[in-house]
């Protein structure tokens, strides 16, 4: 994947005392693992939590988590180790990791390295020995907030709190420009299979006759691109902010709007081309792509108190009445007010009634706030890639 970022340098942690300090003055004490970050170069970011029981490597490498310190609710993280296949990008984008216990002896035939070593090689700091139930309860009650992590005997928790209070909120911050690819590229790889891993790909001869999907990269996950190919597309990836004229010059049969990090309200340079393309070419958006489509259709976005992050969120399809168990990762949501009369709400979150999907038959566009490419056990939402393919093929018929 093309959207690489420079990794932080620094020494490996060996169990030094470490702290997680929130802007509201709350401090948690634990032990460092992974990369060690001292007071001169602390970890900074928005503290959030994820309720997934596994998939930690995919989460760590998801560009949508740029700018965030991740706390897992599941008590043991690292049980299955890490490898070079279960990644969603070429880098670790999560700023730091907080767990109850970091497992040091993974048990899985695909593991090639421990979580500790995986983080250390990339300079990513982790903290363990913290009661993550208390952390999550605090974030649930007070809301996600800015935080600082550092370790070592010379670290003063009060200094970390002071630093956290100086950090800008996620509201008003554009992280897409840091994670999106910088140039156009093609994607030809298929989904992972046992034995072949991620090496399977289609030849140019097989791709040329397929409908052409142009994916706008705001921090796209590799499994999305694999599934677009798997369902029948040839895929070209373009940087966020590519103009509508440049996209149309690629002669797309459909346009895909990807996931990504940060505040969607800052992405006017992505929304404007999408608005220009509406009605001209079929569109499908996931997560941030859903929020971009919502804005292009006249809506707006707002920040959630603590966001939705996990693999067990129930969503109802308002057309069929069916409930899907979904993977989610977002701190912002789309408002229903202001949306074009050409657009209807297609999916609703059953936990808090937030909008989880939009659809416009007239504009040949639809989107979901959740992640159909992720598989927390169920594959409830995979049908959406086939829906996009059928929309594109039907439009060209």
Active site residues: 287, 371, 373
Question: How many CA atoms lie within 13 Å of 137's alpha carbon, on the beta-carbon side?
Answer: 5
Residues 261 and 64: their CA atoms lie apart, in Å, by 4
Angle at CA of residue 14, ends 8 and 20, nearest 5°: 65
Of the candidates 145, 144, 149, the one whose C-alpha atom is nearest the C-alpha of residue 125 is 149
By the 8 A CB rule, do 393 and 211 touch? yes
By the 8 A CB rule, do 26 and 144 touch? no
Question: How many CA atoms lie within 13 Å of 203's alpha carbon, on the beta-carbon side?
Answer: 2
Distances 176 to 91, 181, 208 between C-alpha atoms, Å: 15, 9, 30
């Amino acid at each position: 994947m093309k959207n690489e970022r420079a990794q932080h340098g620094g020494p490996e942690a060996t169990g030094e005392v470490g702290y997680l300090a929130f802007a509201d003055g709350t401090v948690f004490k634990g032990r460092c693992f992974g990369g060690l970050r001292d007071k001169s170069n602390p970890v900074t970011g928005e503290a959030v939590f994820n309720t997934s029981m596994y998939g930690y490597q995919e989460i760590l490498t998801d560009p949508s988590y740029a700018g965030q310190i991740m706390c897992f609710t599941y008590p043991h993280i690292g049980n299955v180790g890490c490898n070079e296949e279960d990644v969603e990008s070429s880098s670790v984008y999560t700023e730091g990791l907080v767990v109850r216990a970091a497992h040091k002896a993974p048990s899985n035939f695909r593991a090639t390295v421990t979580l500790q070593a995986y983080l250390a090689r990339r300079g990513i700091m982790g903290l363990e020995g913290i009661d993550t139930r208390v952390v999550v309860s605090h974030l649930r009650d007070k809301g996600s907030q800015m935080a600082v992590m550092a370790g070592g005997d010379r670290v003063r928790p009060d200094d970390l709190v002071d630093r956290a209070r100086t950090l800008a909120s996620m509201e008003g911050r554009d992280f897409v420009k840091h994670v999106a690819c910088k140039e156009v590229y093609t994607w030809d790889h298929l989904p992972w299979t046992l034995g072949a891993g991620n090496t399977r790909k289609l030849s140019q001869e097989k791709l040329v006759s397929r409908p052409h999907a142009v994916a706008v990269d705001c921090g796209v996950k590799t499994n999305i691109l694999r599934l677009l190919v798997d369902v029948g597309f040839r895929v070209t990836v373009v940087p966020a902010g590519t103009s509508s004229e440049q996209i149309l010059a690629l002669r797309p049969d459909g346009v895909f709007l990807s996931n990504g990090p940060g505040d969607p309200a800052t992405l006017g340079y992505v929304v404007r081309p999408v608005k220009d393309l509406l009605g001209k070419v079929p569109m499908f958006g996931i997560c941030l792509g859903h929020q971009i489509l919502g804005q292009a259709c006249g809506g707006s976005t707002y920040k959630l108190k603590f966001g939705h992050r996990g693999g067990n969120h129930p969503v109802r399809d308002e057309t069929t009445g069916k409930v899907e168990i979904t993977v989610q990762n977002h701190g912002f949501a789309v408002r229903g007010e202001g949306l074009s009369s050409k657009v209807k709400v297609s999916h609703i979150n059953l936990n808090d009634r937030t909008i989880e999907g939009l659809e416009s038959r007239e504009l040949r566009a639809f989107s979901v706030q959740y992640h159909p490419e992720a598989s927390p056990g169920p594959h409830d939402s995979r049908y959406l890639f086939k829906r996009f393919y059928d929309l594109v093929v039907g439009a060209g018929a």
